[in-house]
Amino acid sequence: RLLAADLAAMGAAVTVSVATPLGAEELADIPGLTILTGRMELSAMAAALAGQDLCVDATHPYAAAASANIRAACEGAGVRRLRLARPQSELPDDIVLLPDADAAARFLAGQAGNILLATGANTVGCYKALASRVWARVLPTAASFAACEAAGLPHSHILALQGPFSRDFNEAMLREYRIAWLVTKDGGKAGGFADKAQAARAAGARLVVLGRPTSDGPDYTYEEVRERCREMIQCRSI
């Protein structure tokens, strides 16, 4: 969102692809954007790239499949790709680091206490056997509700909210539901990871972190991507 606003202000013709109408809402106040809404398979990505000069892959650090499709579509269309990566967080020493949601569910099955999932609705089904003591914080969409219901979560355990959230908000939620285990991804600063980690420590909850998938790189910081885009815009305007 920030990069789209920056590039539009520089005079670039910016097309932004978002997976859901919620993502489109977040961009609505930025003038001059073309917004494509809906999840795309490889063929649709290739069609969207037609006539573009550059593709910035700004997907979530855990969206490995989408990122791989973007890379393949760019290669097929002959469009340069820059991977914009959120910096990894400094992980506390006392976390439980696991590779994925299945591993987290297996681990938590052997632990006592309430569980707060802050990992989205896509993997809530992995915790179906633990549903009676799982609270899921998910985006306020019909798809999120459906996933939680399919996993057997009581409706009172579905927390439909849009983040990121402050440290105080996270701590209040952990205390309200007497959470012993907070399951999260390392979404970096943009995903509010540090706030979640600090809140868990203050509320006496243990942190279960799902490890990031291996990046297909090369990765660039926000500043690096912005500068490369700025140089391209300037060259085309000469």
Q: Which whole-number Å values give the CA distances from 218 to 64, 81, 168, in the listed order?
A: 14, 10, 36
Q: Which two tokens stand for residue 123?
A: 């993997």
35, 26 contact by CB (below 8 A)? no
Half-sphere exposure (Cβ direction) of 67: Cα atoms closer than 13 Å: 19
Note if the bond before 218 is cis, omega within 30 degrees.
yes
* Burial of residue 146, with CB atoms counted within 10 A of its CB: 0-12 exposed, 13-18 middle, 19 or more buried: exposed
DSSP, res 114 = E
CB 225 within 8 A of CB 82: yes
DSSP state of 219: E
Q: Are 4 and 27 in contact (CB under 8 A)?
A: yes
Give, for all 238 residues of the chain, the pLDDT tens digit: 999 999 999 999 999 999 989 899 999 999 999 999 999 989 999 999 999 999 999 998 898 889 999 999 999 999 999 999 888 888 888 999 999 999 999 999 999 999 999 999 999 999 999 999 999 999 999 999 999 999 999 999 999 998 889 999 999 999 999 999 999 999 888 778 999 999 999 999 999 999 998 887 789 999 999 999 999 988 876 4
Give the DSSP H/E element, type plus range, for residue 184: strand 179-185
Q: What is the per-residue pLDDT for 87? A: 86
Helical spans, DSSP H, in 78-186: 101-109, 142-150, 167-176
Q: What is the residue type of 34?
A: T
pLDDT of residue 237: 62
Q: In whole angstroms, what is the distance from residue 164 CA to residue 26 CA?
A: 13
